[in-house]
Structure formats: C-alpha cells, structure tokens
Chain A
Amino acid sequence: MNTTEFSGLLFLGSLLAGLLGALTGLGGGVVIVPLLTLVFGVDIRYAIGASLVSVIATSSGAAAAYVREGFSNIRIGMFLEIATTLGAVFGAYLTTRVPTAAIGVIFGLVLLYSAIASYKGKHTQEGSLETSKLAGLLRLRGSYPHDGRDEEYVAQRVPAGFGLMFTAGTLSGLLGIGSGAVKVLAMDQAMGLPFKVSTTTSNFMIGVTAAASAGIYLSRGYISPELAMPVMLGVLAGSLTGAKILVHANVKTLRTVFALVIVVMGIEMIINSLTGRI
C-alpha cells in the first residue's frame, strides 16, 4: 500500500466513524484509536494524538448548532471545565509515563462503558430546584425549553459532579477521546441536570477539555501530521454530515449495531493489550 492509498483508507474509515458517531450520539472519537491500532497497526500513541485532534474539530465545529437549540448552560459548563482541563493535563502526563498495554486495557474498559451507558434508560427528566450553598454561590442553575415553556433546574451534588468531571478530563487526556459518556454521567446522574442540558453542555466542553492535553501531546511528538490529516478531515466531514441527516434518520437499529461494534473493539483492545500486541 502506498502513502496515498493509506491516507485514503484512513479518511474513509474516519468518515464512517464520524458519521456513525454523530448519528448515534455516541461520538466518533471513541472508535478512532481502536480503528488505527487494531485495523491499521498504528502505535497507540500516534493513534491517541490523531484522535484528540479530531475530537477538537467535531466539538468546535458543532458548537453553533448546539447553542441554537437553547439547552446548553455556559456557566455550568465553564465551571466544570476547571475540573476537566486540570484532569486533562494530568491525563496527558500519565499517558507519557504509563505502559501502552495499560492504556490499551483502560481504553477497552471505557469503550465497554460507553456502549453500556448508551443503553441506560433512566435519565434525569425534571431537574430539582433544591439549592445547596455551593450551587447558590456559583449560580449553577438555569432554564430550558420543555413542553412549550421554560423549565427551571438547579445543580445538585456539586462536589461529586466536579470530581467526576476531573475523572472525565483525566480519561480524555490519557486516551485522546472526548469522554462524553463520563461527562454526561457527571451532569445527568450526579448533578441531576436535565438530560438534554447534560448532553449539549457536554458537547461544548469536549473541545476545551481536549485542548488542555493538546500542547503536551504536540511537544511529545504524538501528533503526526500524516496521520492526523486524513483522520481529522474524515471525522469532521462525517460528523457534520451526520448532524445534518440526524433529524430524518431512524437511528435505533444503527445505534445497536454501532454499540456492538464498540463492544467488540473494546474486548479486542483488552485482549491485544494483555497479549502484548499494544
């Protein structure tokens, strides 16, 4: 295979990942690393670098669309970004020190979690209005359009949410992913924010979190222009296309298929890491 064919295949694979990620809401970034390592035999550190870059592209590229829907909460997002960016810097340092086999195993577990989390039916539907001292002080509240009127909500269990966000940031920096699943877990389950608010706020936090590890990745030589070029362009084109057709498509079957793909990739990442191939 020559360089042009290789780049072309990387582009097509990334395009498909971005498309499926946007259509199913699972995010395309999470499958880029397994795609590069398992299918194309790329070292996991180069794969993580290319993946991180594509995560920034999708998050920033879709920012305007999310705001227009009126669900995202800029203050809660910004406050929690303190935790995710600190976590991301910590995670990026870890990546340069932890053996690649350990990174592979953790990656596999996160893939399995992401697939399972997408099937958890119980989400916060109505936010609570109970205001703790911390939530009041930081004004962690808002309202969102629901059934034709504005529904109010206040953030619950702020320290637990903040802690989980640090974990989400660490995973993002360690694995080069957006870790949207953990961010949603923090806001939806721990902080009791309405599900729509959690997912859209998570989406705009992902880019800022990823940028916090990018400098460290770049200085360590993880970001290869030859690999990042087709991957970033592919994921971006795929996710923008996916967001456009999202409204018309019936995604239930697709979601199940993609979740199964993620599970298989997760198991393969773990096996390959344990047998010394990653």
Chain B
Amino acid sequence: MRLTDEKLELAVGRTLQTGVLLAAAVVLIGGVLFLIHSPAGPRAEYSQFHGVARHLRTPHGIWHGILHGDAESIIQFGLLLLIATPVVRVMLAGVGFLMERDQLYFWVSSIVLAVLLYSLWHIR
C-alpha cells in the first residue's frame, strides 16, 4: 500500500509543480504587460485599504478583463490558477484513495474538498 501511496503522491506532486509554474508564467506575462503600460510618475499608494476593483474579485469579471486586454486581469487569472492547484491536489488524492478502495479516506478527502469549495463559492 505504501508504494502505491508514494507513486500517487509523486504524480500529484508533479501535477502541482506544473500548475504552479503555469500560474507563475501567466502572472509574469500579466506583470510585464502591466509594467509596460503603467503610467510614469509616482507609484500607487497602498497605505489606505479600499479593496481592489470589483471586476478583479470574480472569475467572470477577470475573464471579461482578459478579453479587453487588461493586464491586471491576466495577473489575477494566474493567481486563480495558483489557488486551484491545492484544490486539484485534494481531488486527485480523493480519486487515488478510491482507486485503492480506501473508502474512509475518500470521504475524508471529500470533506476537505467541500470546505475548499465553500470558500471558493464566495467568488462566484
């Protein structure tokens, strides 16, 4: 059982690494575009909290922004990919437990997944 566990984990680990590198690449592309188009003059202030623009808080708004070539939306999309990697991790682990016929830990993974999806439900 231990060996399958390790193989499964390694596959999951590699998937995660790929996901993170992909997310980082998207963030980098968005970042370069953002800096090219950033206005000259002093930087923006972040000492007062207003919360970021509404369209950067939902997948729908972010997608809309990307279609309009908005650099900040591209960065935010990369961050969404990043946030998705641990969620994928839990899903893959759940599938792995199912394949090992480990029902108990399939349900444990499902509970963790439910909590994650509850949190992500806020950005619908």
On whether the two chains bind one another, the answer is yes
Q: Could you list which residues of chain A lie within 8 angstroms of chain B, going by C-beta atoms?
A: 1-7, 40-43, 45-46, 53, 56-57, 59-61, 63-68, 70, 72, 74-75, 78-79, 81-82, 85-86, 88-89, 92, 138-139, 142-143, 207-208, 210-216, 218-230, 232-233, 236
A86 touches B79 (CB 8 A): no
**8 A-B pairs with least C-beta separation:** A221-B51, A64-B13, A225-B75, A215-B119, A215-B120, A211-B86, A219-B122, A3-B38
Q: Verify B56–A42 contact, CB threshold 8 A.
A: no
Q: Which residues of A contact B34 (CB under 8 A)?
A: 225-226, 229
B38 touches A208 (CB 8 A): no
Known: A3-B43, A225-B72. A64 touches B123 (CB 8 A): no
CA distance A40 to B76 in the complex (A): 22
Q: 0/1 per residue, B11-32, Cβ < 8 Å to A?
A: 0111011011101100110110
- Is B115 an interface position by the 8 A CB rule? yes
Docked Cα-Cα span, A21 to B70, in Å, equals 33
Q: Shortest CB–CB separation between residue B26 and chain A, in angstroms?
A: 10
A92 with B119, Cβ < 8 A, contacts A42-B47, A229-B31 known:
yes
Determine whether the beta carbon of A64 is less than 8 Å from that of B17. yes
Using a CB–CB distance below 8 Å, which chain B residues touch chain A?
2, 5-6, 8-10, 12-14, 16-17, 19-21, 23-24, 27-28, 30-31, 34-35, 38-44, 46-54, 56-58, 72-73, 75-76, 79, 82-83, 85-87, 89-90, 93, 104-105, 108-109, 111-112, 115-116, 118-123
Query: A107 to nearest B CB, angstroms?
Result: 16
Is B6 a contact partner of A86 (Cβ separation < 8 A)?
no
Q: Which residues of B contact A53 (CB under 8 A)?
A: 79, 82-83
A225 to B41 alpha-carbon distance, docked (Å): 19
The complex places the Cα of A215 from the Cα of B124 at a distance, in Å, of: 9
* Chain B residue contacts of A215, Cβ below 8 A: 83, 116, 119-123
Total number of residue pairs linking A and B with CB closer than 8 Å: 201
Q: Are B112 and A85 in contact (CB under 8 A)?
A: yes
Contact partner, B35, options A4, A214, A222, Cβ 8 Å: A4
Contact between chains at A72 and B48 (CB < 8 Å): no
CB neighbours (8 Å) of B42 from chain A are: 1-2
Pick from A46, A56, A81, A232: contact of B27, CB below 8 A: A232
CA distance A225 to B57 in the complex (A): 10
* One of A63, A79, A224 near B16 (C-beta < 8 A): A63
Q: Cα distance A210–B6 when bound, in Å?
A: 24
Residues from chain B with a CB closer than 8 A to the CB of A92 are 119
Contact A67 B38 (CB under 8 A): no
Pairwise interchain contact B86-A78, C-beta atoms closer than 8 A: no
Contacts of A78 in B (CB 8 A): 90, 93, 105, 108-109, 112
Instruction: State which of B5, B16, B41 has its C-beta within 8 Å of the C-beta of A60.
Output: B16
| Cβ contacts A to B, 8 pairs, < 8 Å | A2-B43, A43-B48, A61-B17, A63-B17, A67-B9, A78-B108, A207-B89, A233-B27
Task: Decide: A226 near B24, CB < 8 A? Known: A86-B115, A219-B123.
Answer: no
